[in-house]
Amino acid sequence: MQLILRSVRVVDSASSFDGQLCDLLLVNGLVRQIGTDLPVEEGVRVIEADNLHVSPGWVDMRVLAQDPGFEHKEDITSVCQTAAAGGFTDIVLLPNTQPVIDSKGTLGYVRRMAEGQPVSVHVTAAITKKAAGEDFTEMLDLHHAGAIAFTDGHHPLQNPDLLLKTLQYLQPVNGLLMNRPEETLLTLFGQMHEGIQSTLLGLKGLPALAEELMIERDLRLLDYVLGVTDRQTETSALPVLHFSTISSARSVELIRQAKAQGLPVSCDVAAHQLVFDDSALAGFDTNLKVNPPFRSADDVAALWAGLADGTIDAIVSDHSPQDAESKNLEFDQAEFGIIGLETVFAAAITHNRNLSLTQLIDKLTHRPRQILRLPAVTIAEGQPASLTLFDPTGTWTYSRTASKSKNSPFLGQTLIGRVIGTVHQGQFNHCA
């Protein structure tokens, strides 16, 4: 494949071409030349569009594929097509399938199914068997078999001893533990954020305290594992503990303080958490039922502030496909979850609160790759051409989805921030 990307604006904080308008010649999966008015030789395809921007390929750190076990909701092929349509070149899959990804056999199945897809698929493995929070999986074997990180996914680790020992087990292999912080005994039967809105709507609340207590606990355990001596050597190291989908102002502040103290931690936020607060649930739309729930307007403002100052490292989709039978129910009976792969960028741009385009792209590119120990990708001559093409000011209507499921509150909405396509593994995937 030979392509020229004509008159594109580079958005890449690690590139010497950042902010420049130039042409990119791509040959056999590499950036061969960067310049202006590059000549078009025979057989070279030219890609050009108004206000065309290019960045390193986007990475989504939190995706549920539902395959194996629930392929009627989503399978590996459909989730990869959906990811490519959303501008992603890399996705990280959660282990919450049936069976759970807790053995080399299941891990191998998913990795084989992902071969030849338009995106690179990285698979997490469960910390505990069946993600039940009781007995350890063979984590070291799974690490050597290709697991990119360890998490029980939608099931927060409740047992502090399990979390502590997992941190210890993963230290020798520079492994990453990802945990969604929630003290589940405080959220039992909860349906939405605990506050004035939940009282008005008569729904049992999910208190922010449940998330914040778990973050405090995990940070104390990490501090204990590292010790004073190790802390000094780990300050500049990669994160060893990652908090998934934080949602409250206090959570942001706790992680901000931990980073200031030198703890090797990181965190992400789901794109939809940056858009909605709990007042959006007044109409009982089950497509807005998520966990963690949409919290107060003050919490949303704190999440944006955390992105701006670097406390929050990444923006994720938390793509969680649910079929109609799981959503077309009374609110308290419906499943949690939103599909989000196609709307991460647009949701963040449309509702942006003073985050620069470069800052936003960093949350989808460089920082996720660093956290996940993936090779760096930057726009420079001789580098791999793993790229996302987009128009940050273009408008579009989200009228259909490549996903098998339709549980998105954004369907039918007109959004800002249009994905044009991706270049990955020597292929151009056109999205617009």
The reported pLDDT for the residue numbered 431 is: 84
Q: What is the pLDDT of residues 342-370, one digit of tens each?
A: 999 999 999 999 899 999 999 999 999 99
Cβ atoms of 279 and 325 within 8 Å: the answer is no
Residues 6 or more apart whose CB falls under 8 angstroms from that of 89 comprise 57, 58, 59, 119, 120, 386, 387, 388, 422, 424
What gap in Å lies between CA 159 and CA 133, rounded to an integer? 7
Give me the DSSP letters along 409-425: TTTT-EEEEEEEEEEET
What kind of fold does domain 57-376+403-413 have according to CATH?
TIM Barrel (3.20.20)
Element containing residue 55 per DSSP (H, E): strand 53-56
Residues 6 or more apart whose CB falls under 8 angstroms from that of 406 comprise 324, 339
The reported pLDDT for the residue numbered 41 is: 87
Please report how the helices 208-234 and 160-170 are oriented relative to each other, as an axis angle in degrees rounded to 10: 30
pLDDT at 236 over 80: no
**Can you give the residue ranges of every domain in the chain?**
57-376+403-413
Range 119-145 average pLDDT: 97
- Determine the 3-state secondary structure of 135 from DSSP: coil
What gap in Å lies between CA 60 and CA 56, rounded to an integer? 13
The reported pLDDT for the residue numbered 235 is: 42
Range 56-71 average pLDDT: 97
The reported pLDDT for the residue numbered 432 is: 61
The alpha carbon of 372 is separated from its chain's Cα centroid by a whole number of angstroms, namely 11
Per DSSP, helices labelled H in 284-365 are 297-308, 324-327, 344-350, 357-362
Q: Is 318 a catalytic residue?
A: yes
Residues 6 or more apart whose CB falls under 8 angstroms from that of 343 comprise 86, 271, 317, 398, 408, 410, 415
Residue 335 pLDDT grade (very low, low, confident, very high; cuts 50, 70, 90): very high
Residue 116, token pair as written in the block: 């030849």
What gap in Å lies between CA 317 and CA 86, rounded to an integer? 10
Residue 265, token pair as written in the block: 């931690």
Residue 229, token pair as written in the block: 């001596």
Residue 227 pLDDT grade (very low, low, confident, very high; cuts 50, 70, 90): confident
How does strand 314-316 pair with strand 265-270? parallel
Residue 396, token pair as written in the block: 């579009």
- Residue 247's closest CA among 279, 194, 293? 293
Range 86-90 average pLDDT: 98
pLDDT at 169 over 80: yes
What gap in Å lies between CA 295 and CA 234, rounded to an integer? 33
Range 118-140 average pLDDT: 97
Q: What is the pLDDT of residues 254-273, one digit of tens each?
A: 999 999 999 999 999 999 99
- Residue 102's closest CA among 60, 51, 62, 141? 141
Burial of residue 389, with CB atoms counted within 10 A of its CB: 0-12 exposed, 13-18 middle, 19 or more buried: buried
Q: How many CB atoms lie within 10 A of CB 391?
A: 19
**Candidates 318, 332, 362, 391; catalytic one:** 318
- Could you tell me what percent of the chain has a pLDDT over 90? 95
The reported pLDDT for the residue numbered 276 is: 98
pLDDT at 234 over 90: no
Q: How many CB atoms lie within 10 A of CB 25?
A: 21
The pLDDT mean for the chain works out to 95
Please report how the helices 76-85 and 104-113 are oriented relative to each other, as an axis angle in degrees rounded to 10: 50
What gap in Å lies between CA 253 and CA 160, rounded to an integer? 22
Cβ atoms of 219 and 226 within 8 Å: the answer is no
Range 151-177 average pLDDT: 96
Residue 43 pLDDT grade (very low, low, confident, very high; cuts 50, 70, 90): confident
Per residue in 315-334, is it b (16+ CB within 10 Å) or e — as a string? bbbbbbbbbeebbeeebeeb
What gap in Å lies between CA 374 and CA 13, rounded to an integer? 17
Residues 6 or more apart whose CB falls under 8 angstroms from that of 257 comprise none
